[in-house]
Structure 1
Amino acid sequence: MERLFEKIALAEKALGKLAEAADIEKPSELERDAIIQRFEFSFEAVWKTAQAYLRVVEGLDIASPKGVVRSCRELGLLTEAETAQCLKMADDRNLTVHMYNEPLALAIYERILGHRYLLVKWQQAVRARVDRERTEHGENEG
């Protein structure tokens, strides 16, 4: 369970970095690319935290981001609408390798502003479940 707590902390740090960057008004091209990069590593951190939760707490071994998203929906961590947005977010994450395509980079950047709030909500839902699990089983953090 200790490794799961480490993943939670890393995801929360990544989300803080994303929020910091996404709050830049009228970002330059370089700043926009940095925001996209921070989205990329924030998405990775959050889905891998959810993956670890599913493995450690729920006993599910899910290998892909979209499989993790669907499992989170089945367990009530995400609503149907949030699941649909998360699946689109996973597609956006996969498209970030095409940042040289200016129109695509701009489109992804615009969607990131909405994605970041869902990433935070998803992360908070996972953390709440882990905290509840720890409390129910009398485990101490750290």
Structure 2
Amino acid sequence: MSVDLNLELLGKALARLQESLDFPASQPLVVDASIQRFEFCIELTWKTLKKALAMEGIAANTPRECLQQAYAAHWLQNESEWLSMLKDRNLTSHTYKEEVALDIYQRLPAHLRAMQALHQLLGQRFDA
């Protein structure tokens, strides 16, 4: 394939998110770091999806379009879960509000599992 999906980079970012989630949330820096790493992961994930879809001849330019097209291609199991991830990504600019940060943090393990599953699928599909 002539397009590099950066699956290795995505895998490393997901591992870093897992690493931060392995620490106890009793430390505010753990919550903040985990949210920051989630932001990196979701950005890298949708940009990877955009490239993968383009390799299949499917145009998608925004994060929402990429998720919708990936769901239509059966690459994602639960579209609403992924749209929730985008919503959380958009809410991360409000993590100065502790209750918002903690709500997002509680959803990060599920978000991580979904991104890991997609990473694995893309690796298999594109023989990375």
- Please classify the TM superposition score into its range, dividing by the shorter chain length: over 0.9
- Helix, strand or coil for the counterpart of 2:102? helix
1:107 aligns with 2:106: no
**CA–CA distance in 1 between the matches of 2:76 and 2:21?**
23
Give, in whole Å, the separation in 2 of the partners of 1:118 and 1:110: 14
Contact 1:11 1:46 in 2 (8 A): yes
Structure 2, unaligned runs of 5 or more: none
Whole-Å separation in 1 of the counterparts to 2:72 and 2:40: 25
Name 1:62's counterpart in structure 2: 60
Give 1:76's aligned residue. 74
Question: 1:77, 1:125 within 8 Å by CA — same for their partners in 2?
Answer: yes
Q: Is the 8 A contact 1:72 1:78 kept in 2?
A: yes
Normalised by the size of structure 2, how large is the TM-score? 0.93
Percent identity of equivalent pairs: 35
Larger radius of gyration: 1
Q: Which amino acid aligns with 1:46?
A: T
- CA distance, structure 1, for counterparts of residue 4 and residue 85 of structure 2: 23
Label 1:31 to 1:2 Cα distance change in 2 as closer, same or farther (>3 A): farther
CA distance in 1 between counterparts of 2:20 and 2:3 reads 27
**Equivalent pair of 1:4/1:53 in contact (CA under 8 Å):** no
Per-residue Cα deviation, 1:73-132 (whole angstroms, up to 9, x for no partner) = 1111112xx21100000110111011111110110000112111001011111221111x
Distance 1:2 1:116 in 2: 28
Q: In 2, distance between residues paired with 1:3 and 1:109?
A: 33
- The 4+ residue runs of structure 1 with deviation greater than 6 A are none
1:4 equivalent in alignment to 2:7: no
The equivalent residue for 1:49 is 48
